[in-house]
Amino acid sequence: MKLIVTGATGFVGTEVIRQALRNPAVTSVVALTRKPIQPSNTGTTKLQSVVLEDWTSPYPEASKTPPALADYLLMRGRVENVILDFAKNTPDIQVTVTKPGGIDSPNRPIRATASPAMQAIYVKFADTPIMHVSELAAAMIDQCLNGITKDPLWAKDIMDIGKRVLGEEDYLR
């Protein structure tokens, strides 16, 4: 299976790339990035980095500005909409949107590094689970390989899938 990863140099995208390159069922990984990337210590030729230069176009004036993380959320929404529209017109493409909530990792403990604005968001959405980035990446890859089970894919579903498919050795340490 060929996997296309947007946001491949970001926090979650990096983990998706790491797991996809280790997964024998994934035959090719295309990383859409702002800068070229190389897999670390994998020696694989499965990864192709496609650099997209125009990430700076302004958002439409009609967009509402979210109270926190405005640039990120607007960019994410725009990318999600473009990908969902593309998939509607392409029968061989399946997509879903993940709604993970909080994402943690050994190098980026979510509560310890959160800005005051993010702390306020966690308080507001206190019942939102916090998952390990490896669980999120594993669930995303599993949905690509085995078919999308839900759309959107909410935090509890992501965590259930991730824990089911990951081995202890697969977690980012």
Please name which of 79, 77, 80 lies closest in space to residue 64, comparing C-alpha atoms.
77
Note the pLDDT of residue 109.
67
Name the pTM for this structure: 0.73
Residue appearing with tokens 């859409």? 32
**Residues near 131 by beta carbon (within 8 Å), at least 6 away in sequence:** 100, 101, 102, 103, 104, 155, 158, 159, 162
Note the pLDDT of residue 139.
95
Across the chain, which has 173 residues, the per-10-residue mean pLDDT values are 85 91 92 76 74 61 60 78 85 83 76 68 71 93 91 91 90 84
Note the pLDDT of residue 27.
93
Note the pLDDT of residue 45.
82
In whole angstroms, give the CA distance from residue 87 to residue 12: 22
State the alpha helices, DSSP H only, in 44-113: 70-88, 110-113
